[in-house]
Structure 1
Amino acid sequence: MGDWNLGLGALRESVLSKLADLLDNPKCGWRQLADAVSKQPQFRCSEKELVSCSLQVLSARGSPSRRLLAMLADRACSLGFLLQCLKKIEHREAVQYLTATVMEQIRITVQPVAQQVPEGARLVLSCQASGPTALGYQWFKGKEEVPGSSTPDLVLCPFTLSQQGYYICRVHQGERFVFSQWAQVSVERSGSSSSGNSSSFFPSSASGLHITQQPRDLTITEGDCVSLECMAEGNPPPQYQWYRNKQPLLPANRPSLKIPCVTTADRGKYSCRVYNLYHEIWSDQAHVEIGPGFAVSWDENDAGFTPAPARQLSQFYATDKVALLMGNMNYQYHRQLRAPMADVHELTNLLRQLDFKVVSLLDLNRQEMHSAVTEFLLLLDRGVYGLLYFAGHGYENYGNSFMVPIDAPASYTSEHCLWVQDVLQRMQERETGLNVFLLDMCRKRNPNDDIIPQPGPLKVTANIVFGYATCVDAEAYEVNKDDLSNGIFISFLKKRLLEDDKVIVMLDRVAEDMGRCDITRGRQALELRSNLSERRALTDRIQSSDCPATTSARNLQWAIAHVLPESRYLHFDCGVKPKDIISCTAQLSDFSEGVDVDLKLTNQETARDAGSLLFIVETAGRPEVHKLFTRLGALQRLKMELTFTVCLQYQYASMDEEVQEKTTVTVGKPLVAKLNLHQPRLPRSFSASSSSDLHPFSLPESSSFSEGLESGDPGLRDFLPGLGLYLLVLLLAAGRGSREREAGQHARRDFQP
């Protein structure tokens, strides 16, 4: 019987990760669980803590649910209370998994121990476990199973030299299993000591390296999470490096590998290299196959929860979901705005929870906006849900809306801006399943523009939704509170976006919320325009199209701008020893032309000091590793490869002056720079009947994202173990974000709430 009074900390990391996978969804997931546990005051999460959970989606391996479970574990939440809350929110799959894990957990009660016996004697290794009935036992010598070893006791008689080595026992019941500790057995020799015998196997005090848990094959669906584990034991402690199709994955240097929201591009053969100072060993290859998504439902009977045929949660689905988010703040000839950066960030976070492929960009000029929209259209296809969000200056003349780029002249007209109705027409040509426009901009008339554009005929598709942040001939506002203040529209939208309702129903509730708010009443009112005739929702599931080639091409198209450059160690031939130097520092300088670099925000100790208000740095790695942060902006304007200089400065104890060594690093075109948005796009045919227009980009060789310093001499590694220089590059802040904190008048007028 399981002990439900135990805390969450008693669960293995693999169990917590599985629970997090089950809870990482918008309909019945971590937000609902946080609300349920809040009935007990000690488990109530503050708004700041909930935001920190949400921000986990910005990390490639982040999980909002895993962060929430960690907070509950810190507050001594019991397994019984967690189970009670999971039942309350009716998350049946999580209830079943937790019940099976706790009630039938296998525990090793007697571990095998290392032994030395004379050659020819009788040697017995014992392993005993508690848990469910009918436990099975398997003994292994290294990776090889010992024949006939199916009992708790392994008897080796007579014991010979060839049987020396490391032994481990696998205790299993069905698909559940645990491994015992490793036990080294050896022949006792006359006049030898225990330490002497150990040294005959490994140098000094080192022991062999052994994999105790191998990664397993997986078959999952698009949008799910890949979770692989490789556990090992050894002395010195093992280190890990994961590979996919024999290519290293970076960063992936933990026993567990987790890839959220996978696409078909993530399928392949995964393996883990385990190594320490003396040994290296490879895990088994795990085949990861990724197929189309499907729905699962559960029926309850007297025996508990059992799988039932999948129920169709909604008769509508998307073949994919794609969103383009653009926020313009730092205008060259107009009043600057403050909220678009936070607005784009908040919306990115929420849409990713709804399985949207999100491309987020800041501070785009006219050419970059046109190119970004063109690339966005290439991601659309028949049945895809397309969402376009714009925050910035805008205007509306004669029913036509225009988004203003940051380089628009003082007296701009439609020829300097991006025409929303033209984007809609081009989206319709892709035969999308749903077209959603969220325009967070002013809609005042532009007296400088007397041109009445004539759009081409729109198709009668009954799948268009416009959400205007304000009414015709009115202004949109932002709350002037701090650096991360939202615009009024997003402040209300973010509270409703995850609701499982028809899009226009959800937006209508946002309009009602704004109408009840004192600070918006009479100043700003949400306006909806829609011809949506079906109950389509942003929460609709994704069901891949019948053309896997088109789907894979679209996934690759989206992934290009989201691939982080690889990490790299730089080697300096300084040859210094810890006793020889009294200081050692490093700095980045001499960045390529094209990107925005504020020298006052370079080489900072924290991401916030470097001007990033949104990015949360993972705490992985050794705490003694030094980190410096430099923020680059306007990556979309990078025409050549990004290069910079790393300068290592150190001082000998016997010298008054510092010694410098410099090296130039080239990292290719990181993130959105790969798309070359600064280049004009040729007119293309957007016939949905052909997939030939899915623009094939050439993906450049992987380049360095994190630059670590490692001396060729072991002495410096001992003095500064892995001094890290992390080059912080945010796709989310790909614009001129170095000026995001400047105060000023705002065309989206701000006022105090």
Structure 2
Amino acid sequence: MAKYDEKMRIPDLPFDVHRELIDELSRDLGWIVLARYIADEYDIFSLSWMNDFEREQNPLDSRRQIQKLFDELDKRLCNVGNLCILLENCELLNALSVLCYPEPLTIVKQPKSELGKDNAMIAPHKGITLSCKATSLPPPQYLWYHNNVELENETNGDLNIVVTSTTQEGEYKCQVMQRDRDGYLMRQLFSDTFYLKIKPLPVVIIEQPREYIEVKEGGTLILTCKAIGHPEPRYQWFRDNILLNGQDSIELRINDFSVQDEDVYRCYIVNEISSLYSNSTTVKMEQTRCKAVAKVALLIANSDYTNFDPVKKAKNDAALIARLLEDIGFNVICLSNLTVNQMRNAINIFCKLLSEGVYGLFYFAGHGFNMQDNYMLAVDSPKKYLRTDAICDSQLLAMAHLETDPTLLVVILDMCLIVPSRDDNPEIHKEIPIIYEYKSKKNRRNLIRAYSTSRHCPSYERKANDFGLYVTHLSKYIKSTVPVTKMFKQVQISLEKTLKGRERDQIPQLTSIVVKPYRLTDMINEAIKSLSTLITFPTRTILQTFTRLGVECKITVGSFELPYLNIVRIAVAHVNNYEVSFRNRFPTDPNNLYSFPGKNECILYNPQTSKGRVIISICRNGNELETIEFNMNDYIPCLLHELEQACGV
């Protein structure tokens, strides 16, 4: 009901009421809403008049426009009663409350589900909208609550709920408030309660306990298992399938750990929908950590074969393992595409470093085969190869222990172990093999051999992956702090879970005679001095003058592709507008020098095979103008020279 005579003209309203009415219509552009409604419903304002209205957005201008609107309405005999009807139709209730007496607060719509119920069960990631509607003058204000806790920023009649957490389950209700024009609370009501229930969810483990852990004597064993589900999961820990009383939380804790606490532990998680067991954890008493005098690794990646298909991932695999080994303190010799003589010499160099107290690791990626023993093929192996054209792991072991006796020797062969076809290569089946005797002076428990596959089985790569299957999983665990044998078993389990189709013919194999808990991450007491001399390969820059042309240039020699020592880059700079060409002083078969036109640089594979002599020419338009003979022997690693020595093993 209006406070004033409904037939009263708008200009006759009291001054303070008139001002308050203008203030309310200025808020949130209410005056534009009113003007548009009048224009649409009664067609009494011209388009140009409305356009002028639309342009006036400044608060000061809006007050003039509202007064202009009131003047237009007064001209058309619009009185206070008519204005009240217009404001109500536009739902401009705050402005309407200036002209009318308060009306009582009443809830006219309670929050219900689509089925009209006061409860609902919602699946995760689904939603529901709860609505509460009230009438009053001044207009009602809304505030939603969940389990009697105010929901921030939920201040309108509709509450949209999307289930993202089980904590959203519970009671929802809406508080409806009526305040006077000065902001004082006049009355408040609460809606009926709506109960939201979330559909049950099965148990899902989101954090597994570690597979292996060592605890110091007297220390505290802590294992953690976390799961989600609805209703909330419950936990129970077991030791060797025997329930542990009082261990019924996310965390298992055993204080004052002793050898009697060593065992296998796991957690049982359950709710009303499902149950799961966690992975098992093997718990051991922490032993005194072993220490190495030094840690040395030789990695050979044979990818580009003269007579066989390339092994495309071999170089990536060896490079990745090299970087990981360097991270845990290994001195790494990483070489690619070696001939059989170079392989023997590289192994000889490696074996000389394996003195007592040293951890040695040998890794080979390339082609291989099995005939009573496991053989690694060099890049120059003939099409119809014999065992004498390859190197077997027994030969490697014999060389490693003939003069030295390392504390730990790990051999990793990442290659196929299929027997050569009798039809394709009959001679190898007639060959009498050389027997290599594995001898150890005193340490007979120091050898671990890991194979990417088993005898008579293939080893696979996936085209879409950057690395071979075995190294993909080996790289996950090689830096772990568990004993080496445990680490390789983790690799086997991890690989087995991912093999598909014919890949399941690849069956990783592990043999070990190691007793002590050696780890690849064990600390080093001191380094091998001779190794750094062998593998040092800093980038060097040499000043060179082409005297006849008067050109002073810089020649830079360094590694082209780390971590490989036998791939060398030579670059020539500051040759003015001349071109540079490169060729070997002594031709090699196959060619090992590749230049890049326009870049003034070349790449040399196994530079020691060309005796370190490279002819560098200054050219113009393809014509040589002056040449020099550049000797790289002083700039490449010493180890490369030893690769070319005659080998009697």
Q: Max radius of gyration: which structure?
A: 2
Q: Which has the larger strand fraction?
A: 2
Higher relative contact order (CA 8 A, sep 6+): 1
| TM-score, length of structure 1 as denominator length | 0.40
